[in-house]
Amino acid sequence: MISEKIIVGEGTEYPLNGLLTLPDEAAQSGSADTSEKFPAAVFVHGSGPSNMDEKIYDNKPFKDLAEGLAERGIASLRYDKRTFVHGRKMAKDPAGITVREETVEDAVLAADLLRKDPRIDPEKVFIVGHSMGAMLAPRIDAEGGNFRGLIMMAATPFRLEEVVVRQLSQEGSKGGLIGFIVKLEDRIFSKKFDGLYEMSDEEAKKRKFAGSTTLYYFKEMGARTAVDYLKETGKPALMLQGGMDFQVLPEVDYKMLKEQLADRPGTEFRFYEKLNHMFMPGIYNDILKVQKEYKVPQHVAPEVMDDIAAFIKKYS
């Protein structure tokens, strides 16, 4: 495979380092005049600051995916998340930060970069979103991404604030002082969201949630869910879910996603009973040991890359 350094958003206020990964055939094809053009994918991170590999301890899901897809004849572009590089600068105006500034704009720029590369087929650019990136994938497509298809890894039909409150409740199941503190936080944060969608935008911008985040971040994102966007487009979509995922729950999120999209044409589902939220082998099958599990170096399962590659080739 070939890896080339690129910059997403070069010349803008928020340039981001990235890597374009291409199959070996790209080197053999030689010039820009070749007729061989590759399908490609843009990777979109989950929540929080993250580097281009989506590094979690010693695990690098996006690096695994990029290399695995290249071996299967598919190019990809991954890049540092804006909050990972420019978080301090962005925090100076927390009321002005939405997922559009944090994620959407850069994913659209990345897609445009791919389409301009002579080795990439501009009609065969896909989006691969993970976790919160999966929640945003249909919106990114609608707001300029213009992808051929959508791959959504660990997606949820719920709004972000609903997921946050639920995850706090799960953490609160821990015993002892830590569990007690988390339960208190859960009650406090749950109340913060009361009447969220009846608030004016200005009021929501004035109310802090945690750190530099305001309630407007949630209000703006929650105005339309991933399912709302998906139902407005006929583009093919692939939903992937791990059976040992304790952040996006198979018996709750995945089940509801399948129900809500049951009649949507071009929607495919893949379930991996023994994989976790990173689509790596689950180890403990215990919500209380998730962080411990993530510290174990692993790799994205080959069957996940097989399914993503097959989907991209099917719709290319």
Which sequence positions are flagged as catalytic?
Answer: 131, 245, 277
Superfamily of chain region 2-158+225-314: Alpha/Beta hydrolase fold, catalytic domain (3.40.50.1820)
How confident is the model at residue 186, as a pLDDT? 47
Buried b (16+ CB within 10 A) or exposed e, 13-22: ebbbebbbbb
Residue-wise pLDDT tens digits, 185-206: 445 566 788 899 999 999 999 9
Rounded-to-integer distance, Cα 301 and Cα 32, Å = 34
Which CA distances in Å does 167 have to 173, 247, 261?
10, 7, 24
How confident is the model at residue 94, as a pLDDT? 77
Asked if 174 contacts 182 with a C-beta cutoff of 8 angstroms, the reply is yes
How confident is the model at residue 99, as a pLDDT? 96
How confident is the model at residue 170, as a pLDDT? 61
Residue-wise pLDDT tens digits, 95-143: 778 999 999 999 999 999 999 999 999 999 999 999 999 999 999 999 9
Reported as half-sphere exposure (CB side, CA atoms, 13 A), residue 306 has a value of: 5
Coil vs helix vs strand at 10 = coil
Asked if 39 contacts 111 with a C-beta cutoff of 8 angstroms, the reply is no
Q: How confident is the model at residue 156 (pLDDT cuts 50, 70, 90)?
A: very high
Residue-wise pLDDT tens digits, 58-73: 999 999 999 999 999 9
Query: How much of the chain exceeds pLDDT 90, in percent?
Result: 78
Rounded-to-integer distance, Cα 18 and Cα 32, Å = 21
Q: How many CB atoms are closer than 10 A to CB 189?
A: 15
Rounded-to-integer distance, Cα 140 and Cα 204, Å = 23
Amino acid at 248: V
